[in-house]
Structure 1
């Protein structure tokens, strides 16, 4: 039995690695209205109202970047590793995450021996409850800023996830020190921004970790688990709180009838982020995601 020791050496605590998510889709939890919950009939929103609602929901789902920074994303194809499941199940989950990354415009590295930049670990019951996995002093969080560690530790439920972020210049290059100087941020006059309204920096995700309590995965399909991990790894996201105005796999561990996989909102969330320039303002990203999600919704393509 072993615990997670470092971000880049994550190992699930396993006494055994049973098959998880083996239930076929038709045995998944059936959709239902919670008993006693009132049914309220509302008129359909106008397109402008729906875009505004989706934009605000997007702002809630995406973890807010620091002031004057764009939303972080991977700059290069991701290499995926899955731990804590039977080998066959682990490969199914990893393969689906790679397929998602390719389909959504992120890209996936498939060469054997690639260095994993996305690690998903299913934690055995022996690891204890999720609240006990990490602390402010945990070495695997040492690279995070204080506010980022607080985000991870403040998460509730059976999942803990975080991204490793590198701040770069507007073209995606690492900042370089001037002769005789230590590495520092440049002044506004040292970098020509790509746009007068966009930030002069980019933020690259260089690694992502997703820890999931294995017992919480019981009854869920491997596809659902892979799609959930995709959303948590490819951009900084958290579980939605309160009313959820669009289906999303991010409700997997909270919704009694979660989606069977990525929804149109989820696809818009990732693909639109990876479609805009690296230093696009967050507001532009939110608007593009909302517009794409509403367009897909209006076309009737979202069957979840």
Structure 2
């Protein structure tokens, strides 16, 4: 069976046992020793500019008129291309990360909806999958597929999404044609229909997540780094840090950037971004993640700066 076929079959049918390892169910997974958040002498304005810049670099803006996408249902993680021992360690770490964000983890026997695959040729794999398993890409538009192929340093990630009402009910999607020059537009209608002058009360669910990493990029990376990287790309719609980007703010998204050193795992910024994302209202638009990330980052900075030194 080809790699592409195994990959597609895995996402639709693979059932994996839960990794039954007791872990603290912490709501705050920051590591105090991870980095200096507000370095001595750095003004708050400068820090905010730094965090706003890195947020701008990584965020994938949602489609116009749609909220930012998140994981709402329980996740079921599958790993391809790794030995069983390493796969279990990756799953364990990713599940722990999910619980810290209050993302539910599916029980034993679940069907995989969050997949990480380690392959020889990532671009060939993605292009092959589009032919052999087009359903993996059916919610993506052409520009979103092209964005996948622009993956940084042998990594490729995307999500399948579904628009729902805030209370989880499904919408009926209708396409309004516009002639002669404007493109068709999707309209979401509820049943029963309710007229309102308020903004659409919709949310966007991540219903499938795929992260592909070329095996040639794995040597030298720890299990924690790989698991935290896949977590970041699976739980949020973000880009890698591009080559040449100044490393003024540590982030696991620089793990495969040849130009810099990556942190040992999810950094203070990474956790701030994820916590902000999963604390936003379900109807939150993409622009709201910037202020929310800075608020979460600053809150953590003040907390750490207030803690007494271990030397005292």
TM-score (norm 1): 0.76
What corresponds to 1:186 in structure 2? Answer: 189
Match of 1:92 in 2: 89
Structure-2 change in CA distance of 1:256 and 1:60 (3 Å): closer
* Structure in which a larger fraction of residues adopt strand: 2
Map 1:140-155 → 2, pairs under 5 A? 140=134, 141-143=136-138, 144-155=140-151
Evaluate the alpha carbon distance shift between residue 58 and residue 66 of structure 1 in structure 2; reply closer, same or farther with a 3 A threshold: same
Matches within 5 A, 1:209-220: 209-220=210-221
SS for the counterpart of 2:68 is coil
Secondary structure at the residue paired with 1:72?
A: coil
Aligned CA-pair RMSD: 2.8
Deviation, 1:44, is 4.4
Answer 1 or 2: higher relative contact order, Cα 8 Å, separation at least 6.
Answer: 1
Cα deviation, 1:263-282, whole Å, max 9, x if unaligned, reads 11111111211112111122
The residue that corresponds to 2:179 in the other structure is none
Contact 2:275 2:296 in 1 (8 A): no
Runs of 4+ aligned structure 1 residues displaced above 6 Å come to none
What corresponds to 1:248 in structure 2? 251
Gaps of 5+ in 1: 12-41
Q: Secondary structure at the match of 2:110?
A: coil
Q: Per-residue deviation at 1:215?
A: 2.2
User: Once the 2 structures are TM-superposed, how far is the Cα of residue 240 of structure 1 from its aligned partner?
Assistant: 1.7
Relative to structure 1, is the Cα distance of residues 223 and 78 closer, same or farther in structure 2, using a 3 angstrom cutoff? same
Tell which deviates more after alignment, 282-291 or 156-165.
282-291
Residue 281 (structure 2) pairs with residue 277 (structure 1) = yes
Q: 2:89, 2:47 → 1: CA distance?
A: 36
The Cα offsets for residues 209-266 of structure 1, whole Å up to 9 and x where unpaired, read as: 1111122111111111000000010111111232243111111111542111111111
C-alpha change, 1:191 and 1:50, in structure 2 (3 Å) is: farther
Kindly indicate whether residue 128 of structure 2 is the aligned counterpart of residue 132 of structure 1: no
1:26-45 mapped onto 2 (5 Å cutoff): 44-45=41-42
Structure 1 residue 146: Cα displacement: 1.3
Q: Partner of 1:265 in structure 2? A: 269
Query: Is the 1:169–1:191 contact (alpha carbons within 8 Å) kept by the matching residues of 2?
Result: no
Q: Which runs of 5+ in 2 are unaligned?
A: 12-38, 175-185, 306-312
Tell me which residue corresponds to 2:117. Answer: 121
1:284-295 equivalences in 2 (<5 Å): 284-295=288-299
Q: Given the superposition, is the C-alpha separation of residues 43 and 267 from structure 1 closer, same or farther in structure 2, using an over 3 Å criterion?
A: closer
Cα offsets for 1:18-77 (capped at 9, x unmatched):
xxxxxxxxxxxxxxxxxxxxxxxx994421342243123213212110112111001122
Taking structure 1 as reference, are residues 43 and 88 closer, same or farther at Cα in structure 2, changes over 3 Å only?
closer
Task: Flag the 1:283–1:199 CA change in 2: closer, same or farther, 3 A.
Answer: farther
**TM-score for the superposition, normalised by structure 2:** 0.74
Distance of 2:6 and 2:145 partners within structure 1: 14
Q: CA deviation at 1:7?
A: 6.6
- Give 2:101's aligned residue: 104
> Closer, same or farther in 2 for the Cα pair 1:218/1:300, shift >3 Å?
same
Which of 41, 60, 74 aligns to 2:57? It is 60
